[in-house]
Chains A and B, each alone.
Chain A
Amino acid sequence: MQNDPSTLSQRASQLRAHAVRMVHRSRASHLGSCLSMADILTCLYWNTLRVDPAHPDWDLRDRFFLSKGHGAALLYAALAERGFFSVDELQQYCMSGSRLTGHVTSGVPGVEFSSGSLGHALPVGCGVALAAKRENLQYRSVVLCSDGELDEGSNWEAILFAPQHQLDNLLLVVDYNRIQSFGSVRDVLDLDPLADKFRAFRWAVREVDGHNMQQLVDTFSVLPFERGRPSVVIANTIKGKGVSFMEDALAWHYKTPTAEQVSLALRELGVDA
């Protein structure tokens, strides 16, 4: 388990650099979404989650579900760097015949569940948490979702369900970068006051700066926030975080960086090209 925030932040930059290269190479998209959750995913995989890359099916591992499946590049980068499979394989991302598809696909070591259509992982995470709860097993169920996908009714069904069954072994992290696929969250379907909504649904809520590694480490280290209640971390983030020209820009949900933009991005991330 890694606790030093600056080491973790360097790791996050490395994952961001992987995602930039992967998306460039395969002419794919969703880079802004990858960069926005890089710090969260780093904290989870190097600090919080009890997983064992040598035994990906270990019974008592924590289960992680990436609900925003379009962030696959960053998840694959994290899993590869964490040792679930070879870092070299990242070069195959979205290439013909590769198992590393553009949305998270199970079968890749370390991936618990395929995602891509939004609003699916929280109910699944609830099911996994409920099974553990009823059988008194100590693993946790962790779901990372985007803000845009909180438009999906299925999420609110699950948000009602989790406190009803006292799933305090469930953690939801919201990557709240305030940009969804076709506009700002405020303009499309405003979620605010989001923390109040979760409180009203009887969740234990923490709000953090989703790029402040110390805050992430501290927050994830005190789970559950309240006994008998599911925990939600609303992580305030910046879409495209870490690459100045991608930050807070809707277009980088879709664009593929040019070779020149890749060089600029890697320089900003402090990673050699």
Chain B
Amino acid sequence: MRTAFIEQLCALAEQDERIWLTCGDLGYSVLEAFADRFPARYLNVGVAEQNMTGVAAGLALAGKTVFTYSIANFPIMRCLEQIRNDVCYHNLNVKIVAVGGGLAYGSHGYTHHAVEDMAIMSALPNLIVAAPADPVEARAITTILVQHPGPAYLRLGKAGEPVLHADGVKVEFGKAICVCDGGDLTILSIGGMLGTVLKAGEDLRRQGIHPRILSMPFLTPLDSESVLRAASETGVILTVEEHGYGGLGTAVAEVLASSGVTTAFLPLRLARTPIKIAGSQEQLRSAQGLSTEGIVQTAISLCRNISQRNAPPQNSPQMDTR
């Protein structure tokens, strides 16, 4: 995903001289592609994220479209106040890029687990929060963010994610992408979980359950319309994210609760407890149910609950089953 991002950014920078890239001393073997081609618009600020973000705000004030780049939590947490006050408050053209969202740096330990980032970022004013699922989404969203004036947060995976979308898939600002349609439940996926969700979808179909699968690359603005349509058409909503509380599950719950629509709903996400053991991204995800099996089991029990709830009462006609 990061390769797709940097390739796309270079292609855009070729056309648009306002595009700058700054980093906090990270990006080895990735950012050289930009630095070599556009040295006058590249800047390694050093291990100094507050200054990186402030400098980016200054460059944006001078008319630039500035990408800040670092890994996991580094480009957002130390410099959160710079993002809030300098960038978002002033609605500046700064795009914050974090590589290794979620548990991509699994074995590096909790300092490197970006699992609260979307909750924090989605609370900020004017900020677009995007988490692409695959290289196709990453390329398209990089372009969308350049076209969209104002601040954005782009949460990327690391490297080597497979292409999941067919050629010509339509990626639109603030819109969900329907990856497969079905009527038994809807699985909403954000970021790099989509591959696992698609595999779970195949398993479910083999068992006679037909899920609608929506990739939700934008947390803000959220495609509430697609969420509500899914709720009314399928009656069961499962959200899947490599993130803790305050992310897609929370946002979707708010949309559903505010609308008054009756639906079964479950957010599949990470627990609040910091992970203190080493493990690959796959292992750490699976330990919290973010695996093909975990998604399948959760989906089945959610569908079973709803069918039991909707079944006509038997043996106790006097009881109000509702």
Residues of A within 8 A of B (CB): 63, 106, 112-114, 116-117, 119-120, 122-132, 134, 141, 153-154, 157-158, 160-161, 164
Contacts and interface: CB of A to CB of B under 8 A. Distances in A.
B64 A123 contact: no
Contacts of B48: 157, 160-161
Interface stretch (B6-14, B55-63, B185-193, B309-317): B55-63
Nearest to B62: A131
B58 A124 contact: yes
Interface stretch (B82-90, B156-164, B279-287, B299-307): B82-90
The 3 A-B residue pairs with the shortest CB-CB distance, nearest first, are A127-B58, A123-B54, A131-B62
B50 interface: yes
Interface string B72-111: 0000000001100110011000000000000000000000
Contacts of A116: 85
B119 interface: no
Interface in B34-77: 40-41, 43, 45-46, 48, 50-51, 53-64
A130 B51 contact: no
Given A114-B90, A127-B59, A153 B50 contact: yes
A127 B50 contact: no
B61 A123 contact: no
A169 to B, nearest CB: 12
Interface of B: 40-41, 43, 45-46, 48, 50-51, 53-64, 81-82, 85-86, 89-90
Given A123-B53, A161-B45, A129 B58 contact: yes
Contacts of A128: 58-59, 61-62
A141 B56 CA distance: 15
A37 to B, nearest CB: 21
Contacts of A122: 54
A154 B61 contact: no
B104 to A, nearest CB: 27
26 contacts: A113-B90, A117-B85, A123-B53, A123-B57, A123-B58, A123-B82, A124-B55, A124-B57, A124-B58, A127-B57, A127-B62, A128-B58, A128-B59, A128-B62, A130-B55, A131-B58, A131-B59, A131-B62, A131-B64, A134-B40, A141-B58, A157-B48, A158-B55, A161-B45, A161-B48, A161-B51
B10 to A, nearest CB: 19
Nearest to A121: B54
- Please indicate which of the listed interface residues B43, B50, B54, B57 has the most CB atoms of chain A within 10 Å of its own CB: B54
Contacts of B54: 120, 122-124, 126-127, 154, 158
B46 A123 contact: no
A161 B22 CA distance: 13
Given A126-B58, A127-B54, A131-B58, 14 more contacts: A113-B61, A117-B85, A119-B50, A120-B85, A120-B86, A123-B50, A123-B51, A123-B58, A123-B86, A125-B58, A127-B58, A127-B62, A129-B58, A130-B55
B46 A124 contact: no
Contacts of A129: 58
Given A113-B90, A114-B90, A134-B40, A161 B50 contact: no
Contacts of A134: 40-41
B96 to A, nearest CB: 15
Given A123-B57, A128-B61, A157 B82 contact: no
Nearest to B59: A127
A188 B246 CA distance: 38
Nearest to B58: A127
A158 B61 CA distance: 17
